[in-house]
Amino acid sequence: MDKKIEILFPEFCNLYGDISNMKYLHKCIPKANFIETNFNDEPAFVTQKVDLIYMGPMTEKTQEKVIEKLKPYKQRIEQLIEENTVFLITGNAGEIFGKYIENEDGSKIEALGIFETYAKRNMMHRHNSNFIGKYEEIEIVGFKSQFTLGYGDNQKNYFAEVEKGIGLNEQSKLEGIKKNNFISTYVIGPILILNPEFTKKILEKIGIEEPKLALEEDLKNAYVQRLKELKSL
């Protein structure tokens, strides 16, 4: 059966070329059904079985709207996580699933509260860094560029162990959240294009055996060079 991939709110959640992840995935699995759910639509995952749910980074105002939009579906999301549905959530989209987002003035925006982590905004100090982190046996490479840092305990459900750069915050060496097949990471941009082995892992998770990547050799060459370069910095 053809795979079903849901992209949540692509008109908003695509600040740093992030939608390219899904365009690339489409090249890898051209027969899959990619559902683009706009903000005013009901997410497909509410009533259908989807194999992968993707959501990318968004502006701060949009975060607040998306939290309100997804609140009615909190139980459904928790159920899907328990049932091993694959989620790939990048950049500050991960904050939607945490406890709250705190503004500079101390006010808090209550989030979905599915995980114990929370975020603090600092709009005049943007954090930028390169990233290498180990997820299972794969060294994930990428970039972070964000106004927020994450806090809270992710020791039992982190996504990657940091080799270069930061984890949830500058003191943390544990990046993102992973519970069953739910993965969220602050890494932004074309994470799947930058990390061919990780992309294969995602494809395996959605049930594709021995996945073949589009432009695999060229992606691997760029990956090897980046990994070497980032390690040398």
| Given 100, 118, 135, 143, the residue binding other proteins (CB under 8 A) | 143
By C-beta, is 116 or 163 nearer to other proteins?
A: 163
Binding segment for other proteins (CB under 8 A), chosen from 73-81, 102-110, 182-190, 197-205, is 182-190
E strand segments, the chain: 4-8, 33-37, 52-55, 86-90, 100-102, 108-110, 118-121, 127-135, 138-146, 148-151, 160-164, 174-175, 177-179, 182-185
Distance of alpha carbon 216 from alpha carbon 233, whole angstroms: 26
Q: How near is the Cβ of 94 to other proteins at its closest, in Å?
A: 17
Q: Is 109 in the site for other proteins (CB under 8 A)?
A: no
State the binding string over 45-84 for other proteins (x if CB under 8 A, else -): --------------xxxx--x-------------------
By C-beta, is 44 or 187 nearer to other proteins?
A: 187
Q: Is 130 in the site for other proteins (CB under 8 A)?
A: yes
By C-beta, is 194 or 203 nearer to other proteins?
A: 194
In the chain, the largest separation of any two C-alpha atoms, in whole Å, equals 50
By C-beta, is 209 or 217 nearer to other proteins?
A: 217
Distance of alpha carbon 130 from alpha carbon 160, whole angstroms: 14
E strand segments, 9-99: 33-37, 52-55, 86-90
| Given 19, 96, 114, 140, the residue binding other proteins (CB under 8 A) | 19
CA–CA distance from 99 to each of 85, 112, 142, 182 (Å)? 21, 6, 26, 16
Q: How near is the Cβ of 84 to other proteins at its closest, in Å?
A: 29
Q: How near is the Cβ of 229 to other proteins at its closest, in Å?
A: 5
Distance of alpha carbon 229 from alpha carbon 233, whole angstroms: 7
| Given 75, 128, 155, 171, the residue binding other proteins (CB under 8 A) | 128
Distance of alpha carbon 119 from alpha carbon 99, whole angstroms: 8
Give DSSP secondary structure letters for 55-72: E----HHHHHHHHHHHGG
Mutual angle of helices 20-28 and 196-205, in 10-degree steps: 70
| Given 149, 177, 188, 202, the residue binding other proteins (CB under 8 A) | 188
Q: Which residues bind other proteins (CB under 8 A)?
A: 11-12, 14-20, 23-24, 27, 39-40, 59-62, 65, 123-124, 126, 128, 130, 143, 145, 147, 188-190, 193-194, 215, 218-219, 221-222, 225-226, 229-230, 233
